[in-house]
Structure 1
Amino acid sequence: MTYVDGYLIPVPTSKKAAYQALAETAAVIFKEHGALSVVETWGDDVPEGKVTSFPMAVKLEEGEAVVFSWITWPDRATRDTGMKKAMEDPRMQMDISSMPFDGKRMIFGGFETILEA
């Protein structure tokens, strides 16, 4: 079964095009280093929760949308090697201050697939 890296990212709606351009570049790099697929989704029906929710998790601010993304890999070993190579790739060396989102509020993690139907 595949291994998945998942992400929640608050992105200003005014920077949607810049985020999409960055995501397209990153997707090419991840796939070159072993990723099977990269999916980026822009929240358009993401309700506020009473106890917890996607907006609460990323401390969503006015004028922002939640981006929910994932990268699939054949297995954890491929992900570990591929992620390291992708992060070292010169095309991924970006000025943090020019990123189209607040990386401090990004949530991410690696997940072992337990069901794929």
Structure 2
Amino acid sequence: MISPVPVANKEAYRAAAQAQAPLLIEQGALRVVDTWGDDVPPGETTDFQRAVATKADETIGFSFIEWPSRKVRDDAWNILMKDPRIAPDPKIWDASRSIMGGFEPVVDL
């Protein structure tokens, strides 16, 4: 997931990610990684900022969850989407501008 996050909310974003990671692991996730944009330059044609319509006071939060299979992921999301602890907090970041998707590995070294 790629999300626009106000720079001032870095600690709140980190704390929310830290609190949600165990919930994902409980449902079968193998790995949960949340990152903070510190070198996300603008592009000439497209870039992360335009993709999620960042504002001047925002940076990019990039997250990914590794699942053992799509079935485990789908089953987990059915449970997690009913859990209010996993819902994004609009006081921390605007989830409506986030980009999400599922991807199948093609190289895994």
- 5 Å-filtered alignment, 1:77-92, equals 77-92=71-86
User: 2:10 matched to which residue of 1?
Assistant: 16
Q: Give the total of aligned pairs.
A: 109
Which ranges in structure 1 are unaligned for 5 or more consecutive residues?
A: 1-6
What code does the residue aligned with 2:12 have? A
Moved over 6 A (4+): none
Q: CA RMSD in A?
A: 1.4
1:114 aligns with one of 94, 99, 106: 106
User: 1:65 matched to which residue of 2?
Assistant: 59
CA contact (8 A) 1:49 1:56 kept: no
Question: CA offset at residue 93 of structure 1?
Answer: 5.0
Distance 1:64 1:102 in 2: 11
Question: CA offset at residue 44 of structure 1?
Answer: 0.5
Distance 2:57 2:70 in 1: 36
User: 2:27 matched to which residue of 1?
Assistant: 33
With over 3 angstroms needed to count, the CA separation of the structure-2 counterparts of 1:97 and 1:69, relative to structure 1, is: closer
SS of residue paired to 1:66:
strand
Question: CA offset at residue 90 of structure 1?
Answer: 4.1
Structure ranking higher in strand proportion: 1
Question: CA offset at residue 91 of structure 1?
Answer: 2.4
What code does the residue aligned with 1:55 have? Q
What code does the residue aligned with 2:60 have? V
TM-score for the superposition, normalised by structure 2: 0.92
